Amino acid sequence: MTTAELSAFARDVLHGLSKTPKQLPSMYFYDEQGDQLFQRIMHMPEYYLMNCELDIFEQQKAQILNAIGLEHFHLLELGAGDGYKTRVLLRYFMEQSVDFEYQPVDISPNVLLELEQRLREELPELKVHSLPGDYFKVLHEVKETDATPKVVLFLGANIGNYPQKRAAAFLRHLQDELNPGDKLLIGFDLKKDPDVILCAYNDPAGITAAFNLNLLERMNRELGANFNVQDFRHWESYDPVTGATRSFLVSEKAQHVFIKALNRSFHFDAWEAINVELSQKYSLPEIESLAREAGFQVEQHFTDDQGYFVDSLWCKV
Ligand SMILES: C[S@@+](CC[C@H](N)C(=O)[O-])C[C@H]1O[C@@H](n2cnc3c(N)ncnc32)[C@H](O)[C@@H]1O
């Protein structure tokens, strides 16, 4: 089989496991089992990100709507997931009779189906138009076909999955797909007590470990790999200088893993790690310089009471 005939997942696995150090893209965490494990992570007490952003929306939804300041818009959410926090805004916007349509975008069709069903039950009057697919593919199609003013949501500190330089390129690309006056409400996790951060990504119940190790199980299920998951360990690090929080899967012994879809084996040295996720933490000045670099104007920051998290409203000028 040529590389062009492989699925995108198989191609990315081939590329990532051939690199030194080994690396896999975190978007592949989210298959059906990964989605379920992530829902459990979001409701763990240690995963403060969820509660902080929820708190911001519950306490400051009126200020957020006021700062958006548009009469009529499409609320397009990148990586909507289960939309749990977004529902606070959706409900409030409806109570205020705001003229808007909700457009959740997600690469996982399971997630969108569940979200649509929940919204039909909870907010039957809400106008919903799901857009399955990759962020930029969808954004580009929308730009070509629809000139309605947009408010883009990119929540949950998802931008932290990109290294800072790539985050700037991602946001610049996003800015290119918007029209002047469109807004972006974007969540960032802020630099804070390193122990608080490490606990959020390494909970004692092992839910995050199971979530990360599911990536190996997914390769077994979908690519016919023969990973022995018990021979790998989830390991987390936080660098308080750069703000980089990294998740690794560490091979506890020297071993070969065969991947049928690629018809090849990969060697792991004892204690060799696969880098599986970055969760970048930011300071407010770093966020402001990122916005400038990407060509946005910062309009307002909304932070929680503890100062752990910020949802920042930006405008394309
Ligand atoms: C960490 S979850 C966050 C969910 C939600 N935004 C929140 O804050 O709770 C990330 C979601 O983004 C989706 N996703 C990841 N990469 C994507 C991509 N390139 N294009 C579209 N969706 C993506 C995943 O399927 C997942 O549902």
300 located within any domain: yes
Q: How far is the CA of 134 from the centre of ligand 1 (A)?
A: 10
At 132, which CATH number? 3.40.50.150
Helix axes 207-223, 32-42, angle to 10 degrees: 170
pLDDT of 120 over the 90 cut: yes
The pLDDT, as a whole number, for residue 118 is 96
Determine the straight-line distance between the first and last CA of the chain, rounded to whole angstroms: 47
Please give the average per-residue pLDDT across 271-285, as a whole number. 98
Q: What is the pLDDT of residues 159-206, one digit of tens each?
A: 999 999 999 999 999 999 999 999 999 999 999 999 999 999 999 999
Do 301 and 183 sit in the same domain of this protein?
yes
Count how many domains the chain has: 2
Do 138 and 107 sit in the same domain of this protein?
yes
Integer CA distances (angstroms), 154 to 5, 161, 188, 218, in order? 32, 12, 9, 26
Do 127 and 202 sit in the same domain of this protein?
no
Do 149 and 176 sit in the same domain of this protein?
yes
129 located within any domain: yes
Q: Provide, rounded to the nearest whole percent, the portion of the chain with pLDDT above 90.
A: 92
Query: Is the shortest distance between the CB of 54 and ligand 1 below 6 Å?
Result: no
The pLDDT, as a whole number, for residue 308 is 98
40 located within any domain: no
Query: Is the shortest distance between the CB of 175 and ligand 1 below 6 Å?
Result: no
146 located within any domain: yes
Integer CA distances (angstroms), 108 to 30, 44, 46, 113, 226, in order? 7, 22, 25, 9, 25
Q: How far is the CA of 35 from the centre of ligand 1 (A)?
A: 10
pLDDT of 49 over the 80 cut: yes
Other C-beta atoms lying within 10 Å of the C-beta of residue 164: 19
Torsion of CA 285, 78, 42, 310, to 10 degrees: 20
Query: Is the shortest distance between the CB of 83 and ligand 1 below 6 Å?
Result: no
Confidence bin at 1 (pLDDT 50/70/90): low
Evaluate whether 161 touches 107 at the Cβ level (below 8 Å). no
140 located within any domain: yes
The pLDDT, as a whole number, for residue 270 is 98
From CA 132, how far away is CA 150, in angstroms rounded? 17
Query: Is the shortest distance between the CB of 108 and ligand 1 below 6 Å?
Result: yes
Q: How far is the CA of 295 from the centre of ligand 1 (A)?
A: 23
The pLDDT, as a whole number, for residue 311 is 98
Which of 51, 106, 184 best tests ligand 1's pocket when mutated (most atoms within 8 Å of CB)? 106
Kind plus residue range of the DSSP H or E element containing 237 = strand 232-238
From CA 276, how far away is CA 21, in angstroms rounded? 11
| Residue burial 4-19, b: 16+ Cβ < 10 Å; e: rest | eebeebbebbbebbee
Please give the average per-residue pLDDT across 214-233, as a whole number. 98
301 located within any domain: yes
Do 242 and 291 sit in the same domain of this protein?
no
- What residue has token string 């104007």? 297
Question: Average pLDDT of the chain?
Answer: 96
The pLDDT, as a whole number, for residue 110 is 87
Q: What is the pLDDT of residues 52-93, one digit of tens each?
A: 999 999 999 999 999 999 999 999 999 999 899 999 999 999
99 located within any domain: yes
Domain that holds residue 16: 3-30+195-278
pLDDT of 130 over the 70 cut: yes
Closest-CA residue to 186 (of 202, 168, 212, 165): 168
41 located within any domain: no
Query: Is the shortest distance between the CB of 130 and ligand 1 below 6 Å?
Result: no
Confidence bin at 276 (pLDDT 50/70/90): very high
Do 67 and 96 sit in the same domain of this protein?
yes
Query: Is the shortest distance between the CB of 28 and ligand 1 below 6 Å?
Result: no
Q: How far is the CA of 79 from the centre of ligand 1 (A)?
A: 3
Geometric angle at alpha carbon 45, from 44 and 49, rounded to 5°: 85
Integer CA distances (angstroms), 189 to 56, 57, 68, 200, 261, in order? 13, 15, 21, 12, 37
Per-residue tokens: 225: 């790999």
Tell me which residue has its CA closest to atom 24 in ligand 1: 79
Do 101 and 72 sit in the same domain of this protein?
yes
Evaluate whether 286 touches 34 at the Cβ level (below 8 Å). no
Three-state SS at 88: helix
Evaluate whether 24 touches 16 at the Cβ level (below 8 Å). yes
Q: How far is the CA of 7 from the centre of ligand 1 (A)?
A: 20
Do 52 and 186 sit in the same domain of this protein?
yes
Kind plus residue range of the DSSP H or E element containing 184 = strand 183-189
